[in-house]
A and B are shown apart, each in its own frame.
Chain A
Amino acid sequence: MKRIHVAAIRMVLASLSLMIAAGAGADVYVQCPGDTNGDGVIDDFSDPEYLAHPNAVCMSITGGDGFINMADTTVTGEARGRQLYMFGFADVTGVDPLDVIDVGTTAAWYPGPVIALDEGDEFFLSLTNVGMARRPDLDDPHTVHWHGRANATPWDDGLPEVSISVHMGGTLTYYYQVNEPGTFMYHCHVEATEHMQMGMLANLYVRAAQDNLPDGTNLNGFIHQTGNHYAYNDGDGSTYYDVDFPLQMSGFDPIFHDASESTQPLPFALMNDTYPMLNGRGYPETIIDAPLANTENGVVSQREDALIEANVGDKILLRISNLSITNYYTLMSPQIPMRIVGTGARELRGTGGADLSYHTNSVNLGGGEAFDAILDTDDVAPGTYFLYTSNLNYLSNNTEERGGIMTEIVINP
C-alpha cells in the first residue's frame, strides 16, 4: 500500500514538474520584431513588424543569481580568490526560449552584459527573471533601469515602486528609442540596495550618429572619414577617438554576500565594500585579457576586463561610470592626462555652444555618475602606464594588498 502511495505521489510530482517546465518555457516571451523563434535574434527581415522598425536591435538577458571569484589569490593560495554568491544579469540572446531558464539558472555575469548601441537604434531588451535557485525562499522580481535615459517614462524606467517589475519565470520587454549618444549604465532597481550590492549592474553606451556621416563631410574644418568614431555629435571632431573602453567601478561587501548565501539577515547598516573593482575585477585580474570562470559551478561569470591597449598616437576614450552603492572613487591617470569631454551622457558644452571640456589627472565619481575621458597618446612613449584610484586604501582586494581599482594602459609603438 505504502509503496503504491509513494509511487503515485512520485508520478504526480514528476508530471507536475513537467507541466511547470513546459509552463516556464511558454512564459519566457521575448518580443523582437522579425524574430521568429523568440531567441532575441532577428531572422525574418521581411516580417512586417521588422519593416515597421527597420532600426530594431534586440537583446535577451536574464536576471538571477550566480557565483564569482575575487582576485585575492595570495590569500586563498589558489588560482582564484575568494568565492562569493551574487545576483546578476547574463546574456541569452540566441538561446531558445525553452532553454532560457535552464541556461540562465545560477549563471549570472558580473558585470552584466555590455549593451552597446548606435544612436538611432530602436532597442528591444527582454529581461527574463530566472529566479534565485540558491535562494528558493526569495521570489524577488527584477527590472532594468537604463540609468540616465532622457525622457524616460515609468513604463520603461525600471523603477519598481512607480512601475512594473517581472516575476520569476516571466519576461518583460523594454522598448527604447535611442536618441542620445554617450556613456550610461544599467542596473536592477528592485530593492536597489540589495540587488545592486549583490551585482545586478553593467555598462551601457551609445555610439554617436556622427560616426556614420558620408566620407569627407566637413565638420567645421575637421574632415570626417568613414570609420571615424566620436563620443558625441560634436560638430567639429573634438571628441574623435580611435579606441574606446567602458570602465565601471563598483565594490562587493563579502559579509553581505555570505549573509545572502546563507539566508541570514542582510547587514545594511554595516555595509562595507572591501573588494573594490573595475569591470567586476580587482587588480591584477583587471589586466587579464580573458574571461574567468567561477569555482562553484564553472560558469564564466566575469567576461570583461579593464586592460586598456592602444598604439602611440591613438586617442583613447574611457567611458567611466561608477555603480558602487557605498563609495565615491577618484580615478587617477597620473602619467597620461585626461581630457573630459562629456559627463552625464552629454557633451561638455554650454547652452550657447561654449566648450566646457577640460584637462585633468583625476575624476571623482559617486554612484550613478559617468564621465567620458579622452587620453591623447601623441606625446606618450610606448610602455605600460597605470590608471588607478587615488583613494589608495582601495588598492586592495580585501585583506590582500596591491589589488583593487587599478588597471594598466599599454601603449604599443
Chain B
Amino acid sequence: MIIRATEVETVSNKIRKFVGLAVAGVLTLSFLGLEANAAEYFLRADTTTVTMPDGEVIHMWGYAEDADGDLSTEDGVVTVPGPELRVPTGDSTLIVHLKNNLPVPSSLMVLGQTSDGSTPTFDGGRVLSLTDEAASGGGTVTYTWTDIRPGTFLYASGTNPAVQVQMGLYGALAADMEDGPLCAPAPGGGTCYPGIVYDEDLILLFSEIDPALHAAVEADDYGPGKTMTSTIGYAPKYFLINGVAKTAGSAPIEIGTGGDRLLIRFLNAGLQTHMPVIQGFYMNIVADDGFPVPYPPEQYSIMLTAGKTHDAIFQLACSDLPEPIKSTGTFALYDRRVQNLSNAGAAGDGGMMTAFTLMDADGENIADICDNCLGVPNAAQVDTDGDLYGNVCDADLNNDHYVNFADVPVMVRAFIWQDLDGDLNEDNSVNFGDIARFLELYNDSPGPSGLHSQQ
C-alpha cells in the first residue's frame, strides 16, 4: 500500500524529467515532517534501450517505478539511472518491492546498508546474489531496511554485479536525517548530517557504458560457453552524468540562485575513478558514503572512486562571482580525467561534462544572486543609496525598511531637487514616471534583492 500518494506522484514527475537524452538536471526538494514512518517503493527490473549522442542504441537493464503500487500492471518507464528513492526526514524505514522481468535472477541492494534478514545465494561454490533474489521472468521479492541510516547511497543489483550493474541496474537513494538537537532544518530544506543543514539538494550520478557487454547480452552471447565469458576486458566508451553524455546542445543544470546552501550528492555507479571539478569555485566536502567527514575540507575537486558517494555543500555569495559568471550565470562541472570527456572518440566535447546555471528570473543577464532587484529588469543595477536594493525596487527612501508615508516627503524633495535616489526607473532623472513607480511600490518593503538573499 502506498503511504503518500502525492509524494509518489511528485517523484514520478521527477522521473519523467530524468528520462530523455538531453535534459536539464532537476532540483529536488527534501520533504519535512510528514506523518508516516516508512518510505515504500515498487520497482520493476526490466530491459530498455538508451541512445547515445552518436546514435548508437544500447540495450540496457534498468529500473522502473511502478507508481500505482501494483507490480502486475507494469506501469512506469524503465530508466538508467533508476528512479530516485527518498526517505524523508522522520522516516526510519525503507521498503522496496522488486519485480524482476529480466531473463536471469536479480536483486537489489543499497551499498552501505544491509536489508533485514538479507540472505545471499550461491551457485557452484561462488556467490551469485549478495542479497535476497527475485527469480527471473517476473519473480518478486521485498526488502526492508529498518532504522535506515541517513545519507546518500547507491542502490544497485546485488546479483552477478559485474554484469548486472554494468548493464544499468543502479540509482540514487537519499535519506534525510531525523530532527535532533544538532540538526536544524532550514526553511523548505533538510538536514543530512549532524550540524550540516541545506536548502536544496542535487544528485549527480556518474556512470559509464561499454557497448561490448550490452551487445553480447542482447545477443544472448555473454556467459559460460559464449563468446564473452567475463567482464575483464571492460573498456567504456560513453561517460554520463545523470544518464546524459554531453553534446553541444546539452542544457545546463539549474541550481537556483546559488545563494542557497546546496547539498550536492555525488555518486559513482561506474567502475572507474572520476574526478569531478567545479570550475572557479570551492565546495565543502561533508560526507563519505553517507558518513560525516571529520574536519570537512574545502576542495575544488572530488575523488569519486567506483561505488563511492560524497556529499558537498556548495554555496555562493555575489562577491564570489567573477564578472563573466555574474552575467552568464554559468560555470562548468567536468571530470578532470579528461579522457572521459568524449563520446566514443567523436570529435568535440562529450562525456562527463555539464554546467551549472544560476537563476536569472528577470532575464537581464545578471545572476539573481547579484541582482539588486529580482524579478524586475534593471540592467544598470543603479543603487544610488548603496543599500544593495536597486533603485528600481527601492522606494524606501528613508531606509527604514518600509515604503510608507514617511517616504513621501523624501520622494517629493527628490523630485524637486533631482536627487537620484528618487530615480526609480533608471532614466537618470526624477520625474512623473518615478512618481508612478513610487505609487506602485507603496506599502511594500524594498527589494527583493539577490544581494540580501542570504541569512
Contacts and interface: CB of A to CB of B under 8 A. Distances in A.
Interface string A52-68: 00000000000000000
Interface string A346-365: 00001000111111111010
| Candidate in A385, A391, A400 with the most chain B CB atoms within 10 angstroms | A391
A390 interface: yes
Nearest to A363: B305
Given A362-B308, A393-B232, A328 B273 contact: yes
B294 to A, nearest CB: 6
B380 interface: no
B150 to A, nearest CB: 13
| Candidate in A360, A397, A403 with the most chain B CB atoms within 10 angstroms | A360
A363 B255 CA distance: 31
Contacts of B128: 402
A396 interface: yes
Interface string B65-108: 00000000000000000000000000000000000000000000
Contact of B289 (A336, A356, A360, A383): A360
Given A399-B230, A401-B162, A402-B162, A392 B291 contact: no
Interface in A362-411: 362, 364, 380-381, 383-386, 389-403, 406, 408
Contact of B294 (A358, A389, A396): A358
A381 B118 CA distance: 9
Contacts of A283: 126
Nearest to B147: A379
A334 interface: yes
B294 A357 contact: yes
A333 to B, nearest CB: 9
Contacts of B160: 401-402
A236 B273 CA distance: 35
A131 to B, nearest CB: 33
A182 interface: no
B25 interface: no
B357 interface: no
Contacts of B305: 328, 330, 362, 364, 390
Contact of B230 (A350, A354, A401, A408): A401
A339 to B, nearest CB: 9
A290 to B, nearest CB: 14
B291 A362 contact: no
B295 interface: yes
A392 B232 contact: no
A364 B127 contact: no
A194 B76 CA distance: 54
B165 A392 contact: yes
Contacts of A284: 125-126
Contacts, number: 130
| Candidate in B110, B112, B166, B293 with the most chain A CB atoms within 10 angstroms | B112
A332 interface: yes
A358 to B, nearest CB: 6
B307 A362 contact: yes
Given A283-B126, A362-B307, A356 B229 contact: no
Nearest to A288: B125
Contacts of A334: 109-112, 130, 307
Contact of A360 (B124, B291, B295, B306): B291
A406 B224 CA distance: 19
A330 B126 contact: no
A396 B289 CA distance: 25
Given A356-B294, A393-B162, A398-B230, A384 B120 contact: yes
A359 B308 CA distance: 12
A15 interface: no
B289 A359 contact: yes
Contacts of A392: 161-162, 165-166, 231, 271, 306
B303 to A, nearest CB: 7
Contacts of B234: 393
B126 A396 contact: no
A147 B2 CA distance: 57
Given A391-B271, A392-B165, A402-B126, A359 B307 contact: no
B51 to A, nearest CB: 24
A244 to B, nearest CB: 22
A398 B231 CA distance: 9
A335 interface: yes
A212 interface: no
Given A358-B294, A393-B233, 18 more contacts: A328-B305, A330-B308, A334-B130, A336-B114, A354-B295, A359-B289, A362-B305, A364-B273, A381-B114, A390-B305, A390-B306, A391-B272, A392-B166, A399-B229, A399-B230, A401-B224, A401-B230, A402-B127
What 7 A-B pairs come out closest when comparing CB atoms? A390-B307, A393-B234, A359-B291, A390-B306, A396-B230, A361-B289, A396-B232
Interface of B: 109-114, 117-120, 124-128, 130, 160-163, 165-166, 223-224, 229-234, 271-273, 288-291, 293-295, 303, 305-308
26 contacts: A74-B124, A328-B305, A330-B307, A355-B294, A360-B288, A361-B112, A362-B289, A362-B305, A362-B308, A381-B117, A390-B307, A392-B162, A392-B271, A392-B306, A393-B234, A393-B271, A395-B162, A396-B231, A399-B229, A399-B232, A400-B229, A401-B162, A401-B223, A402-B126, A403-B126, A406-B127
